Structure 1
């Protein structure tokens, strides 16, 4: 179970991801983020949350956000098949291996999807960016940043579940099985 400070740190990570999206062009098309934490000081209990872009194949890059939920389910199904050797499974294995090699006590915290969307505000269509995330406790995070606005709005567990939720939860479940540590290892 994530502590309240871990949830707060994850919120800060999502806000930072929104700021990074401007310079890194995340969300154009959809960008997936694998979010993990690590201990900042070996003797302390302070943890830092970091996100890693999970690259999508050019053929899977979406131009319409409506296709994102299906892509998340297809990706989770592909990662859940241990007998199939897929590029995504190789990518996940590589990312987890690199995280474990540099941060042995890292833990999986969440999956997030960053994507551009058309929002309806006061009955008018507006362009914006969304970052939807699901953490290991099943908590839902929804960040909305309307173009032209200085600050994003971030909601946590409001009961309003985005269409990306089932796919992100499926990715989280599959990834948790791949990141389960062996004897003497930390979890990515």
Structure 2
């Protein structure tokens, strides 16, 4: 179970991701991020931890320009990552296996969440507005929804907790499936 401090730090990491996305500009393809933590110092105490995000590269054929296709993409990736046959590993499995090895998920490093950063259109009574979104699901099933309206200085961040929280956004179930597939792949990698 993630501590209050870990949840708070994870939320701060998502705010930093939004700031980076804002600098890079609007209209970019969806980006997947694997969020993890590890000890701040390799030989230091395990209680001092640093949260980081690693971009998970998508194949050019999977790059989305329409956010409506995002839930299907996330489920397709989770299925590809969840294949048990290591001899017939997909390119995504090999990539994730490499990332897991490099960031040290295992005895000292922890998987925290999967996130997706994408641009969307928000329809309100006042019309349609462009938004940056960052949706994330952590290992406890908590859902983080960050919405940054175009032209607004600050984003809004909501954290939903409780049973079924990940199901409250279209990307949530796919992110939860990615977490499960990643945890299984990390466990196999440690054997």
TM-score, L = length of structure 2: 0.88
Q: 1:154 to 1:24 in 2, by over 3 A?
A: same
Please state whether the residue corresponding to 1:105 is helix, strand or coil. coil
CA distance in 2, matches of 1:149, 1:70: 30
CA distance in 2, matches of 1:51, 1:27: 21
CA distance in 1, matches of 2:110, 2:3: 13
Shift of 1:151: 0.5
- With 9-18 and 119-128 compared, the bigger mean Cα shift is at 119-128
Q: 1:91 to 1:25 in 2, by over 3 A?
A: farther
Is residue 2:184 matched to residue 1:182? Answer: no
Q: Does structure 2 conserve the Cα–Cα contact (< 8 Å) formed by 1:26 and 1:114?
A: no
Partner of 1:186: none
Partner of 2:52: 50
Partner of 2:143: 140
CA distance in 1, matches of 2:119, 2:125: 19
- With 79-88 and 9-18 compared, the bigger mean Cα shift is at 79-88
Please state whether the residue corresponding to 1:82 is helix, strand or coil. coil
CA distance in 1, matches of 2:26, 2:109: 24
Shift of 1:25: 5.2
Q: What is the root-mean-square deviation in Å for CA atoms of aligned residues? A: 2.1
Partner of 1:73: 75
Partner of 2:110: 107
Number of aligned residue pairs: 182
Tell me the alpha carbon deviations over residues 48-107 of structure 1, each in whole angstroms, 9 at most, x when there is no partner.
110000000000001100000000000000110122321111110111111129x96110
Shift of 1:23: 3.3
Q: Which portions of structure 1, spanning 4 or more consecutive aligned residues, are displaced by more than 6 angstroms?
A: none
Q: 1:36 to 1:92 in 2, by over 3 A?
A: same
Please state whether the residue corresponding to 1:177 is helix, strand or coil. helix
Is residue 2:135 matched to residue 1:127? Answer: no
